[in-house]
Structure 1
Amino acid sequence: MLKMIGQRLMTTIPSIIGVIIVTFLLTRVLPGDTAAYFAGPAASPQAIAEIRGKLGLDQPLPVQFVSYVTALLKGDLGQSLTTGQPVTRDIAARLPASAELTLVGLLLAMAVALPLGVLAAVKQGSWVDHLCRIVATAGVSLPVFFTGLLLVYVFYFLLGWSPAPLGRLDVFASEPPGVTGFLLIDMLLARDLEGFRAAFSQLILPAVTLAIFSLAPITRMTRASMLAVLGADFVRTARASGLTNSKVIGTYAFRNAMLPVVTTLGMVFSFLLGANVLVEKVFAWPGIGSYAVEALIASDYAPIQGFVLTMAVMYVALNLMIDVLYGVIDPRVRLEG
């Protein structure tokens, strides 16, 4: 297993290097002038040139790239011009908010999609199967920002069941001591049940938005994988041996159908990290996605580069985790690795 993990890590190094190069070049060709933006509309060309010189933007691209990589090797992602803080500190402060939202959304989607996909495969052609297809079609058809706005309109504006979509906590709640960065966990650690309720009420609508977005691929893959496994010889042998239907489905079929589902979960988690950008803007969520959008509008290079690099590292870690799960679910994968 350790050998397999080492091999996977070695193959990811070129990917990280490519991400660094491409991100650096793309940020330099984006429309807009960082120096002109921060100098203001009334600034003179001389003032803009001075700011450009202070930021090092007047140097040739190879010199800028060497400076960027040198700082990167020291763990320095640069300083955000919009917040005035180091990018590393900004990302560390905002990443738990995005991670909490993404994980809760994925868990909600799994709680619905996995049982629905299994039932749709077991009872093929029934109303459950038709419901599975409707859910999958709706999840693919609805844009994530539209779903978020629709939920806000129904549950906040019309029914009044949800609080205003203004971040992770309402104005009447106070943040707990930062232990993990996840508000729900920190509230429980602080034994603040009222704060936990307030944080959960703010979280539920954006999490449901992401869950609806991710329902379709998980449900479809679960159904398709279960159908393939239920027709296999070992499942027919298990049924012929007199095992109960729940034993056959839960122990034999579902575990063997999990490999493609785990792959889909990894892909969906990656998609959710991208969809977070829109969801965070709709719900004023103070996560890393909204941070990157604000930096992009201001042509602030360092936060954009830090955001893309952080996402790349998370994708690499996610793929490595999927490989480890493969070995846990199917020992033959460890032997092949």
Structure 2
Amino acid sequence: MVILKRLATVIPTLIGVIIVTFLLTRVLPGDPAVYFAGPAATPQSIAEIRKSLGLDRPLPDQFLRYVNDLAHGNFGNSLSTGQSVATEIASRLPASAELTLFGLFLAIAIAVPLGIFAAVKQGSWIDHLCRVIATAGVSLPVFFTGLLLAYVFYFRLGWSPAPLGRLDAFATSPPDITGFFLIDSLITGNFETFRSALGQLILPAVTLAIFSLAPITRMTRASMLAALASEFIRTARASGLSSRTVILTYAFRNAMLPVVTTLGMVFSFLLGANVLVEKVFAWPGIGSYAVEALLQSDFAPVQGFVLTMAVLYVALNLIIDMLYGVIDPRVRVDA
């Protein structure tokens, strides 16, 4: 029932995203007709291109045409590549998803244990390290972190491969099974491609992980401190349960709800940060695709990118709602 209620709020959200995205792309500086006509074009040729693109029509007509195309699953065609936007996004989305999920996995693997230890050892050096990491993660812009990592580990130390895409020049792409190079190369047993894909993925993923460490660590620490100060924790300790059981089974499980909420927010932030990271590391994802289209005043890819991000964000919130019921059955009862 809760999922149905959430789905009922999806439609107005997506409608709002479609309207706002359409209007924003029309008020942005730059004229696609002028860009594609070239610097030597005459006003007549520019007008002909604008007419062929449908940009000479009133905005309501353009909007109705755009909505009709969306209803038929048509995101339009990119003027710069001539390809279908839906096809381009579908081919590039696995690259962005692999980068985002791997970065989030690294952040969780570091931030959650660090937050737990910081709460258990409050005031210790681990607690101070947690605060330093949280402050650094908030203070460093994601593009600066990416450039710094590339400079240190590729240019100065030579430990990392050139930050130029998903594979180095000597590796071949694995068969397209899931679109995730790490998974596809393991499925096909191509370990050389797996090592190449992992080497290319580490620096951009670490960049995203550093960006998302701060909120996850701080929320884990705060939630654990609140849980450890609860009456049921004191009762569990008085019952003779081991510290490991008290901390992981009782305290951490009750602290998970706000942490899961934070993970959802962080994932949505990473979808936006992907745009900058993909440009820094020449990563062929949908973020770099949208930036290139925006620079060329190519409306359709930008609209397709924003709509895809909105759908992913809505789907993520639905997953979080379902996780609430799994973590704490009382949520389902209250709902």
* 1:60 match: 58
* Aligned mates of 1:119, 1:288 — CA distance in 2: 37
* Aligned mates of 1:14, 1:212 — CA distance in 2: 34
1:172 to 170, 173, 179: 170
2:100 to 102, 106, 109: 102
State the Cα distance separating 1:4 from its structure 2 match: 1.2
| Residue-by-residue CA offset, 1:20-53 (whole Å, 9 max, x unaligned) | 0000000000000000001101111101100000
* 1:330 match: 328
TM-score between both structures, scaled by the size of structure 1: 0.99
SS in 1 for 2:179: coil
| Residue-by-residue CA offset, 1:28-79 (whole Å, 9 max, x unaligned) | 0000000000110111110110000000000000000000000100000000
State the Cα distance separating 1:82 from its structure 2 match: 1.1
* Aligned mates of 1:223, 1:79 — CA distance in 2: 47
In the TM superposition, what are the counterparts of 1:59-208 in structure 2 within 5 Å?
59-208=57-206
* 1:5 match: 3
Query: After TM superposition, where is structure 1 displaced by more than 4 Å over at least 4 residues in a row?
Result: none
| Residue-by-residue CA offset, 1:205-231 (whole Å, 9 max, x unaligned) | 000000000000000000000000000
* Aligned mates of 2:155, 2:6 — CA distance in 1: 49
* Aligned mates of 2:274, 2:9 — CA distance in 1: 28
* 1:282 match: 280
1:214 to 205, 212, 215: 212
State the Cα distance separating 1:116 from its structure 2 match: 0.2
* 1:264 match: 262
* Aligned mates of 1:98, 1:199 — CA distance in 2: 13
| Residue-by-residue CA offset, 1:169-200 (whole Å, 9 max, x unaligned) | 01100001100000000101111001100000
Q: Which amino acid aligns with 1:179?
A: I
State the Cα distance separating 1:323 from its structure 2 match: 0.2
* Aligned mates of 2:313, 2:331 — CA distance in 1: 21
* Aligned mates of 1:198, 1:295 — CA distance in 2: 29
Q: Which amino acid aligns with 2:253?
A: R
* Aligned mates of 1:291, 1:17 — CA distance in 2: 23
Percentage of matched positions with identical amino acids: 76
State the Cα distance separating 1:130 from its structure 2 match: 0.3
| Residue-by-residue CA offset, 1:71-93 (whole Å, 9 max, x unaligned) | 10000000001111000000000
* Aligned mates of 1:31, 1:150 — CA distance in 2: 32
1:21 to 19, 22, 28: 19
* Aligned mates of 1:17, 1:316 — CA distance in 2: 13
| Residue-by-residue CA offset, 1:76-130 (whole Å, 9 max, x unaligned) | 0000011110000000000000000000000000000000000000000000000
* Aligned mates of 2:30, 2:122 — CA distance in 1: 55
1:305 partnered with 2:303: yes
5+ residue gaps, structure 1, are: none
* Aligned mates of 1:99, 1:57 — CA distance in 2: 33
5+ residue gaps, structure 2, are: none
* Aligned mates of 2:146, 2:161 — CA distance in 1: 14
State the Cα distance separating 1:5 from its structure 2 match: 0.8
State the Cα distance separating 1:336 from its structure 2 match: 1.8
* Aligned mates of 1:11, 1:273 — CA distance in 2: 21
State the Cα distance separating 1:248 from its structure 2 match: 0.2
Q: Which amino acid aligns with 1:174?
A: T
* 2:243 match: 245
* Aligned mates of 1:107, 1:47 — CA distance in 2: 52
* Aligned mates of 2:13, 2:130 — CA distance in 1: 37
